[in-house]
Amino acid sequence: MVVLVIFCSVIFATSVSVKDYQAKIEEQQSMQQFKNVFRNTLNKAFLTGKDYNIVISKKSNSAIFKSNSDDDFLIKIKFPKTISYFKAESTIQIRRNGLIRPQTIKFYSIMTKQNYIYVIQMNWGEIIEKKT
């Protein structure tokens, strides 16, 4: 009986830590995907000569990357439930020549208590991650 209790305890503890690990990996992957798609959208705006918008919404917990000219949908990133955007909603405009206003994008992880802060450089819009 004691062996069964110990065995069940070990299995339970392992499964809980695996779920936490999976959630952390999911967070990291979604934030990496956000940075990659952001960079790709900047490049696409420059190469195609189209204006693009990035709409980040706390309510839908997502970021939508789309063209202004033909409402061409590029991609939608759905963030994990453990990630929260600091503002209600933001629209970031990327000009057809790839230029962008400087700004800061902030997310918060409920799970890891970590802030994901992205600073957008003026003009060429390089996205720089600052971890806190």
pLDDT at 15: 57
Residue ranges per domain, the chain?
2-131
Record the pTM.
Answer: 0.82
5-27 tens-digit pLDDT: 565 555 655 655 677 888 889 99
Q: Does the domain formed by 2-131 have CATH 3.55.40.10?
A: yes
Q: How far is CA 66 from the centre of its chain?
A: 16
Distance, in Å, from the CA atom of 34 to the CA atom of 56, rounded to the nearest integer, reads 10
**83 near 101, Cβ under 8 Å?**
no
Q: Which residues pair with 119 in a beta bridge?
A: 104, 128
Are the C-beta atoms of residues 44 and 74 closer than 8 Å to each other?
yes
Could you give the strand order of the β-sheet that contains 103-109, starting from the edge strand earlier in sequence? Answer: 83-85, 103-109, 115-120, 127-131
